[in-house]
Amino acid sequence: MNSTYSVSQAQSRLPRLLKDATRGDPIAITRHDRTVAFLVSRERMEAIVETLEILGNAEAMQAIRRHRQGRTLFFPLKALDD
């Protein structure tokens, strides 16, 4: 299915486009052949926001770098009982 629509096309097809976006297909909305907006599902938008929050958190990014370098320590769950 086409994933790019002009504003007028999107207005006339909004119910269908919402259904497509809910399934995970991002929809580009154009005006004068330039993309001006995207229609994405709530789940996709929440994932984008969560990613941006992690990228903006210096401590989280440091933990990710340590893990990628193999410097993360893991403990067995039973250690929580001690």
Kindly list the domain boundaries of the chain, sorted by start residue: 4-40, 43-71
17 burial via Cβ count (<10 Å: 0-12, 13-18, 19+): buried
Inform me whether the pLDDT recorded for 1 exceeds 60.
no
- Write out pLDDT tens, residues 22-40: 998 899 999 999 999 999 9
Against a cut of 0.75, is the pTM above it? no
Percentage of the chain lying above the pLDDT 90 cut:
80
The CATH H-level superfamily of 4-40 is YefM-like domain (3.40.1620.10)
